[in-house]
Amino acid sequence: MTAIALQKKLENVVDKSSGLLRRTMVALIIPVFNESGSVAAFLRETRGIIDPLESDQLGFTLLFVNDGSTDATLETLIAAQKADSRIRIVDLSRNFGKEAALTAGLDACDADAAIPIDVDLQDPPEVIPQMLEHWQNGSEVVIAKRADRSTDTLVKSKTAGLFYRVHNALSHTQIPENVGDFRLMDRAVLDVLKDMPERRRFMKGLFAWVGFETSVVEYKRAARSGGRSTFTPWKLWNLALEGITSFSNIPLEIWGYVGSAISVLAFLYGGLLAGRAIFFGADVPGYTSLMVSILFLGGVQLIGIGVLGQYLGRVYDEVKQRPVYVVRKIYEGEE
């Protein structure tokens, strides 16, 4: 698909506030946390893709969300903005995590469509023209799907696969496998996401939950361009828990059934013991069965309480109604 073909299909849109015709705007939403080393390469690659697409009908915004970086990321971005007025920077007051940073970016975005994209070039900007094409053809969501996970370690791809299976078995909201945050979303979708009141935001799940006319483009995921991933196994485990507790109540409800099953078994076993005592006389050495049942039940109860704790924690966070992120400053590109 060529840039020319794309430009032809786009038309100017009527601006809601001024009533004037203006260009269709697409925003790239780029959360960054200690990425001073990756910004330059990202801008170089991305400009190579989006610059030829720019026209009287179509414009781009590069909306960076600085998620409390402690290195020179913000300075790097401010310097880049001086040379490129399409860059906007939302500077958060501290590190809130990628999900919150993404939320901040989507909230700040006033474009006609938004594309969340990682700065490390693991989400290849070459896919953007295809996404725009699908969008022009009527899709409100265009998800980019990894054709394979060959650049991930075996452990990461296996555990990711397991997460999707467990999540989708437990939840009505089906999250497509091998799909990240990299996708195009129409204004209509962005408005719905903006109005979602929940504080603990598992974006992949929320994206899937909103629905809309969705199409898919495939890509090959590259290795990280520079720096290293800040997602430790512990963070990923917590993200997985977040996903499941956000979109399924089954872990909470299952304990009623587990308890019932154990009660039935205990009742039958009790009957057996009573029968034996009646017909064969009292049988004092019952230490093993006693110990086993106490330990087993204790374990089951603790698991149940732990699961309750997971959900209670979520409820607590929602009730507090704290904002998902705090913006320190927004740096607008000067026109």
CB neighbours (10 Å) of residue 313? 13
Distance in Å, CB of 179 to ligand UDP, minimum = 13
Choose the stretch contacting Mg ion; rule: CB under 5 A; options: 3-11, 35-43, 110-118, 140-148.
110-118
- Options 23, 25, 28, 31; binder of ligand UDP; rule CB under 6 A: 31
Dihedral, CA of residue 58, residue 64, residue 65 and residue 70, to nearest 10:
180
Q: Is 214 in the site for Mg ion (CB under 5 A)?
A: no
**Structure tokens of 67?**
């998620």
- Options 230, 238, 260, 301; binder of ligand UDP; rule CB under 6 A: 230
* Dist. CA 334–CA 332, nearest whole Å: 6
Q: Is 64 in the site for ligand UDP (CB under 6 A)?
A: no
Distance in Å, CB of 94 to ligand UDP, minimum = 10
CB neighbours (10 Å) of residue 297? 13
Could you say which of Mg ion, ligand UDP, none residue 119 binds, taking C-beta under 5 to 8 angstroms by partner kind? ligand UDP
CA 221 to chain centre: 17
Q: Is 35 in the site for Mg ion (CB under 5 A)?
A: no
CA 106 to chain centre: 13
Q: Is 112 in the site for ligand UDP (CB under 6 A)?
A: no
- Comparison of 91 and 120: residue with beta carbon closer to ligand UDP: 120
Q: Is 112 in the site for Mg ion (CB under 5 A)?
A: no
* Dist. CA 232–CA 251, nearest whole Å: 25
Distance in Å, CB of 67 to ligand UDP, minimum = 4
Q: Is 99 in the site for ligand UDP (CB under 6 A)?
A: no
Q: Is 237 in the site for ligand UDP (CB under 6 A)?
A: no
* Dist. CA 25–CA 72, nearest whole Å: 29
**Structure tokens of 259?**
């308890």
Site string for ligand UDP, 310-329 (x = CB under 6 A): --------------------
Mind spelling out the 3-state secondary structure of 156-173? HHHHHHHHHHHHHHHCCC
Residues 6+ apart with CB under 8 A from 199: 317, 318, 320, 321, 322, 323, 324
- Options 91, 112, 118, 242; binder of ligand UDP; rule CB under 6 A: 118
Residues 6+ apart with CB under 8 A from 296: none
Q: Is 248 in the site for Mg ion (CB under 5 A)?
A: no
Residues 6+ apart with CB under 8 A from 84: 43, 47, 62, 333
Q: Is 34 in the site for Mg ion (CB under 5 A)?
A: no
Distance in Å, CB of 20 to ligand UDP, minimum = 35
Q: Is 67 in the site for ligand UDP (CB under 6 A)?
A: yes
* Dist. CA 68–CA 32, nearest whole Å: 8
The answer to whether residues 209 and 173 touch, using CB atoms and an 8 Å cutoff, is yes
- Comparison of 232 and 288: residue with beta carbon closer to ligand UDP: 232
Q: Is 123 in the site for ligand UDP (CB under 6 A)?
A: no
Q: Is 242 in the site for ligand UDP (CB under 6 A)?
A: no
- Comparison of 73 and 245: residue with beta carbon closer to Mg ion: 73
Choose the stretch contacting ligand UDP; rule: CB under 6 A; options: 47-55, 91-99, 255-263, 299-307.
91-99
User: CA–CA distance from 20 to each of 14, 15, 16, 110, 335 (Å)?
Assistant: 5, 5, 8, 16, 18
Site residues (vs Mg ion, CB under 5 A): 118, 120, 122
Site residues (vs ligand UDP, CB under 6 A): 31-33, 35, 67, 95, 97-98, 101, 118-120, 122, 224, 229-231
